[in-house]
């Protein structure tokens, strides 16, 4: 059902997700798929295809420690401090690295699959993962090195 789209830039997802029955069902399938990728720190929905078509939905899975969470309609509310250049892995570009400037502390908001809103402060690696996955759904082109 789901597959990762390899070696292609992810296009921006414009519309926020409406959590109707159809989208919730799709998000459950995506979350199950993404959490079974044990090496994945995160995966944006639009990095995948659903039945052969790019899955254009504003959501991603990320791991906070070992706990996978689904972030629906994620936003960075505020950044703190300066950016640091980070080299990261990416499932879109297997065996290659991404070079990106990341804030080490951010304030974020997102919804879960039930429509509950979360507001969190993320630091370090969780901050980096959130920014990486949000860039995918915002269509930000990262430098592949």
Is residue 47 left, alpha or beta, with left meaning phi > 0 and alpha meaning psi from -120 to 50?
Answer: alpha
Q: How far apart, in whole angstroms, are the C-alpha atoms of residue 93 and residue 9?
A: 9
Q: How far apart, in whole angstroms, are the C-alpha atoms of residue 54 and residue 138?
A: 14
Q: Are 47 and 92 in contact (CB under 8 A)?
A: yes
Known catalytic residues are 133
**H or E stretch including 135?**
helix 125-137
What number of other Cβ atoms are within 10 A of residue 48's Cβ? 23
| Residues near 64 by beta carbon (within 8 Å), at least 6 away in sequence | 126
C-alpha closest to that of 73 among 12, 11, 18: 18
């Amino acid at each position: 059902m789901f597959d990762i789209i390899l070696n292609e830039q992810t296009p921006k997802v414009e519309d926020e997700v409406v959590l109707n029955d159809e989208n919730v069902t799709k998000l459950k399938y995506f979350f199950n798929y993404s959490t079974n990728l044990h090496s994945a720190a995160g995966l944006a929905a639009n990095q995948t295809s659903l039945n052969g078509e790019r899955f254009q939905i504003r959501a991603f899975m990320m791991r906070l420690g070992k706990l996978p969470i689904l972030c629906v309609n994620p936003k960075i509310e505020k950044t703190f401090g300066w950016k640091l250049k980070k080299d990261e892995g990416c499932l879109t570009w297997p065996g290659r690295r991404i070079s990106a400037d990341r804030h080490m502390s951010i304030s974020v908001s997102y919804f879960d699959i039930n429509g509950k809103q979360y507001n969190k402060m993320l630091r370090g690696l969780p901050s980096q993962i959130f920014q990486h996955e949000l860039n995918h759904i915002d269509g930000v082109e990262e430098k592949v090195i």
